[in-house]
């Protein structure tokens, strides 16, 4: 039995499926040559990966998005074949910053949606003008509602 996205997945409560095996796209931007993530994602899609994991703090969302779009253009996959998981960075935990952070990710990826958007770490950092400037931990904010309002406005596939 081969390990494939079609056969190895977790069914989600909304009817979608999340492939069990995915490619994490982190690479230290100080040491990883530009284009490495792009080539890795293209190769991963070619060999059958359908679950891709990325984040703003990896500084390569543009490469991930370009690789996905190129593989779609080549006819290798359709967007609905890919399960993309993005992450909310710690300075964007306040509810009013969640949607703008997600929209920034979508613009950088140049995709219409992400399949899953999770919190990078359950620790909120103080908000600064620049997302990574003077990162200082603050107290973990409490959430007064079970879901962010943006959840209800997302379009199902």
Report the catalytic residues: 58
| Residue-wise burial string across 9-44, b where 16 or more C-beta atoms lie within 10 A, e elsewhere | beeeeeeebbbeebbebebeeeeeeeeebbebbbeb
Q: State both tokens at 143.
A: 């959430």
Instruction: Please state the three-class secondary structure of 43-61 as a single string.
Output: HHHHCCCCEEECCHHHCCH
Q: Could you count the other beta carbons within 10 Å of the beta carbon of residue 74? A: 11
- Angstrom distances, CA of residue 87 to CA of 43, 77, 79, 110, 149: 23, 23, 19, 16, 17
């Amino acid at each position: 039995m081969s390990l494939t996205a079609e056969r190895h997945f977790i069914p989600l409560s909304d009817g979608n499926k999340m492939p069990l095996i995915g490619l994490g796209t982190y690479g230290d931007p100080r040491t990883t040559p530009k284009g490495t993530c792009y080539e890795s994602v293209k190769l991963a899609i070619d060999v059958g990966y359908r679950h891709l994991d990325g984040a703003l703090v990896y500084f390569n969302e543009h490469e991930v998005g370009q690789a996905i779009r190129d593989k779609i253009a080549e006819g290798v996959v359709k967007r609905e074949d890919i399960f993309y998981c993005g992450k909310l960075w710690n300075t964007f935990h306040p509810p009013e910053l969640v949607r703008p952070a997600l929209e920034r990710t979508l613009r950088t990826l140049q995709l219409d949606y992400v399949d899953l958007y999770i919190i990078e770490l359950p620790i909120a950092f103080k908000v600064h003008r620049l997302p990574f400037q003077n990162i200082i931990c603050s107290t973990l904010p409490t959430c007064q509602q079970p879901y962010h309002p943006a959840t209800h406005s997302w379009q199902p596939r």
